[in-house]
Chain A
Amino acid sequence: MSRIEQFQYDNRIVRAFGMASFIFGIVGMLVGLILAFQLIYPALNLSQYGIPITTFGRLRPLHTNAVIFAFVGNGIFMGVYYSLQRLLKARMFSDTLSWIHFWGWQVIILCAAVSLPMGITTSSEYAELAWPIDLLITLIWVVFGINMFATIIKRRENHLYVAIWFYIATWITVAVLHIVRSFELPYSLFGSYTLFSGVQDALVQWWYGHNAVAFFLTTPYLGMMYYFLPKAANRPVYSYKLSIIHFWALIFIYIWAGPHHLLYSSMPDWVQSLGTVFSIMLIAPSWGGMLNGLLTLRGAWDRVRQDPVLKFMVVAVTAYGMATFEGPMLSIKSVNAISHFTDWTIAHVHVGALGWNGFLTFGVLYWLWPRMYRTELFSVKLANIHFWTGTLGILFYAVPMYWAGWTQSLMWKEFTPEGTLAWGNFLDTVTQIIPLYAMRAFGGTLFFTGTIIGVYNLWKTASQGNFLANEAAEAPARVPHLAPAAGDHWHKWIEQRPIQMLIFSAIAISIGGIVQIFPMVFIESQVPKISSVMPYTPLELSGRDIYIREGCVGCHSQQVRPFRSETERYGEYSKSGEYIYDRPFLWGSKRTGPDLMREGGKYPDSWHYNHMIDPRSMSPGSIMPQYPQLADNQLDLSLLPAKITALRKLGTPYPKDFENKAIGEARAQAKRIANSLKEQGIKDEGMEDKEMMAIIAYLQRLGTDIKAQKTN
């Protein structure tokens, strides 16, 4: 028998991440609420007063980033730092690294909170942050990895518990995803163009975006569930075999499912089909986690009724089960044809985010705080009130959004018997669902109120207790016994070998991405060229970057799907060859406004001018923010040469020396647009030097290349 060693668990870092989690949870949810109300009262965008930073387009990425990386992210680190130490019987390897990790992560969040409202964004969902911040994220993630693995290496526990398998898979996969998604060529301090263009960029994006959901919102939380749920219920985990099978199946299959975000898009059919079938095969592995959670509660259901911690966890795991069944259903092409681009998706992700991530975080917080503060929970009653307002909040959020999604989708697809669209004016399909948006805002308010109650409860718990910064523990030193005991499960082999665990996880999560992405990037015939598709002119390019800055992609897609209801409304369906110069791609994932793929030439320049200044002047009842500042802001072309050079390096065939002529060309095109506006009766002074010229140039170009081919 080896010597018993004394050591201490670090609770301070757990508390820090926990506090960061709920503080940023409040911020992220508050921004979400503002967005919800903006969709009912467009005046709340405030851009009509010349304040651009509060528009929907700029706040939406702030909301998603705050909830995913600040609220859930800090929640993950809270759970990992608490459970990892105890499951390994070791203090974190280095307190310094722990605190570098903590403060580094908060600095990243701060950078995001400043840069996103300023319009500094790559527009790739959940990877919006500028390249210097990407570098910082990489650095901090490596710090976290070193700290975690070094702790694992110096552990006193021979085998790694299932929670740690999930943490390891999370770490390696997020690293791979983040690095590949961040392949970009900077042209300025904050600006960059992605290495991938058009269809390829779309594929890489949804490989990343889907697996950010998988390996940031799911696997680390499953790991946390495997620690905190049996602890809180004081019951053994239901099935060790199930843990093994569902862990490996989950991480292997999850990575393939990304293309289900691109069904009926210009992505080749084979990629789409892989997305569909792997999503369907994902039901069982996902449900394995739910089953192991819920069945662990066998014999403890009487306590679920009394203990708010267990209540939160049960709803969280149930929400996880619902969302992971719904996800595969949404990946069936005929269902996706209805759901995609509508609020159905919004409902789906919020069942996951509010139910699974939100409620599990609250459950863990309610369990941790009394323990770390050596006291009782301040008020079980308040926790129950939080539970019920939160649950009702989820219902009031999700049900109206399902309803809104179905309503709008059916309206988009409805034809009169004579063969014209029944709702030819897109706006009619928007105004129809605004009452449902109002109900959603109510649901969001309920959930938010619950969160405030929860934070108050935790704060009172903390102030009545006394914090245990270093928790004393003891365990025998580890004697590596690598030979398996008789009757041991074969999986025990890898459970003693963290490095092999890391390598095998890395292999499991690489295969899907390689099979899908490599052919798309390296086999040219996957993206058939269209000869009439030309690179953007310098002014259009500037306009495109303004479009990206304002977050237009948050509400407007650029992808006409091959459905009659879409080609009738928007024009010819999108071809992959049309996007080859799009860095980044801007297909979007939600149509709060109409698709803009074929916007070019549809309306006169003056219509766009008036519509940007006040959308309601041209489309009464529109909920789009006003953009009067585009008519005031001077058009800054100084970065154009650098942008042209960067794009040429990436493969856009701009002629030699074009970067030196770019500014002149842009000025000339702006002048032409200003003249056309004058002819159409808009007499504002100095229009040719304003950002409005660039955005009009871009919008009028959209989707016209393929039209040119037709008339020729």
Chain B
Amino acid sequence: MKFAKYLFIFLLMGWGATLWGQTVETAAAAPAAEQLPRLMTYVLAITGAVLFIVAMFYVVTVNQFLYKRVLDLEAAKSGVTLPDETPLAAAPAGESFLTTLRKKYWEDAVPIDREEEILSHHDFDGIRELDNRLPPWWVNMFILTIIWAVFYMYYYHWGGNGPSSSEEYKMEIEQAKKQQSIALAGKANAVDESNVTALTESSDLGEGELIFKNTCAACHGPKGEGTVGPNMTDEYWIHGGGIKNIFKVIKYGVPDKGMISWQSQLSAGDMQKVGSYILTLQGTNPPNPKAPQGEIWKEEATPVDSTGTK
């Protein structure tokens, strides 16, 4: 009888854990757009599973408890004395059903006015100890965390198919690729160094100026006059002038000479904007210019379609 009950609880919990495993798996397979962020899925799945296990645990044990009560009542009616299987469940006379329930599963402290009954006889430098029952909710919590731990280890290591860190990473990258292709599908070909053109709209140039001040001015001077990096306002260029060359230098950098690559920090559009802004600096003659470096850039040397603006 007892064994069957525990088996039942165990099976229910196993079922709960399987459900939880399935939730996680289904979530991973769902199309990217409809999916909750992975983190939330996990949080939900785990919370759900834990709550489910708690609930099942309580349902089963409460059921047992009620069953016992019914038996007791029946027994009282028919005048038969039952063998007392679980003495704890037998409620002292005069306590309501809810009180008994609370004491069994939640909290069972001896009231302060009766604490003499459980007070230790001995004292340590005046400190005495009560011998209260372990708070039942605390015991339950401890047990649940242990069960959770076992299922966690099972799911990720001992038999379940929980993803490893590197598998999780692969899934994340695949999903990102899908999202990215959806996002880029609607747009014209992304800007790159082969097709970039200089922008002339003042709003674009304004944004370009802002980027310049934040990212380029440190080395090229706030007005493009050049400090550590070369002067941007004269007609001399080390790696060629014109928007395509400038875009290329911004994108890939010239590591040997101290110019870093910006492609991981600036989007293609931003690089186009700041490149276009740099072109507008030509001939502005700011104070304290750095001496020219490189060669005079001749417009004719560039393909026709990129020479529109200065």
Q: Which of B266-307 contact A (CB under 8 A)?
A: 266-267
Of A133-141, A202-210, A414-422, the segment with at least 4 beta carbons within 8 Å of chain B is A414-422
Most A CB contacts (10 A, CB to CB) among B119, B129, B149, B179 go to B129
Chain A residues 263-284 with CB under 8 Å of chain B are 264, 269-270, 272-274, 276-278, 280-281, 283-284
> Which of these binds chain A: B59-67, B80-88, B251-259?
B251-259
Asked whether A334 and B132 contact (CB < 8 A) given A295-B109, A419-B180, the answer is: no
A276:B152 contact, CB within 8 angstroms: yes
Contacts of A298 in B (CB 8 A): 109, 112
B157→A610 contact, CB < 8 A: no
Q: Are A269 and B164 in contact (CB under 8 A)?
A: yes
B10 interface contact, C-beta 8 A: no
Kindly identify which residue among B46, B179, B187, B256 contacts A680, using a CB–CB cutoff of 8 Å: B256
Closest to A263 in B: B165
Among residues of A, the one whose C-beta sits closest to the C-beta of B183 is A417
> Interface majority SS on A: helix, strand, loop or mixed?
helix
- Distance (Å) between the CB of A431 and the closest chain B CB? 10
Cross-chain contact B215 with A425 (CB below 8 angstroms): yes
Across chains A and B, the number of contacting residue pairs, with CB separation under 8 Å, is 178
Residue from B39, B134, B215 in contact with A245 in the complex, judged by beta carbons closer than 8 Å: B134
Contact A237 B112 (CB under 8 A): no
Does A601 have its Cβ within 8 Å of any Cβ on chain B?
A: yes
Interface of B is mostly: helix
Q: Per a CB cutoff under 8 Å, which of B131, B164, B228, B264 touches A569?
A: B264
With an 8 Å Cβ cutoff, the count of chain A residues facing the other chain is 75
Q: Determine if A563 and B169 form an interchain contact, defined as CB atoms under 8 angstroms apart.
A: yes
| Highest count of chain A CB atoms <10 Å: which of B38, B134, B215 | B134
Q: Determine whether the beta carbon of B152 is less than 8 Å from that of A424.
A: no
Residue in contact with A240 in the complex, picked from B120, B228, B259, B264, CB distance below 8 Å: B120
Select from chain B the residue with minimum beta-carbon distance to A416: B267
**Distance, CA A482 to CA B288, complexed state (A):** 92
Q: Is the CB of A236 within 8 A of B183?
A: no
CB distance from A80 to the nearest CB of B (A): 14
A157 within 8 A of B: yes
Question: When A418-B180, A606-B258 are in contact, do A238 and B130 touch as well, CB less than 8 Å?
Answer: yes
Residue B148 is within 8 A (CB to CB) of chain A in the complex: yes
**Residue A191 interfacial (CB < 8 Å):** no
Q: Which residues of B contact A236 (CB under 8 A)?
A: 115, 119-120, 127-130
* From A89, A239, A618, contact of B134 by CB (8 A): A239
Alpha-carbon gap, A288 to B139, bound state (A): 10
- Name which residue of chain B comes closest to A617, CB basis: B218
The answer to whether the Cβ of A480 comes within 8 Å of any Cβ in the partner chain is: no
Q: Report yes or no: A603 in contact with B228, Cβ–Cβ below 8 A.
A: no
Q: Which residue of B lies closest to A226 (CB)?
A: B127
Task: Report if A568 contacts B (CB, 8 A).
Answer: yes
The docked-state distance in angstroms from the alpha carbon of A505 to that of B122 is 25
Name the CB-closest residue of B to A473: B125
Q: Is the CB of B218 within 8 A of A619?
A: yes
Chain A minimum-CB-distance residue to B173: A564
Give the residue name and chain of the B residue nearest to A83 (CB): B125
B residues contacting A by CB (< 8 A) are 38-39, 42-43, 46, 109, 112, 115, 119-120, 122, 124-135, 138-139, 141-142, 145-146, 148-149, 152-153, 156-157, 164-166, 168-169, 172-173, 176-177, 179-180, 183-184, 187, 190, 214-215, 217-219, 228, 255-260, 264-267
Extra pairs beyond A157-B124, A680-B258 (8, CB < 8 Å): A230-B127, A264-B165, A273-B152, A281-B149, A284-B142, A291-B138, A569-B264, A604-B259
Name 6 interchain pairs, CB-CB below 8 A, sorted by A: A231-B126, A287-B138, A332-B46, A418-B187, A602-B260, A619-B218
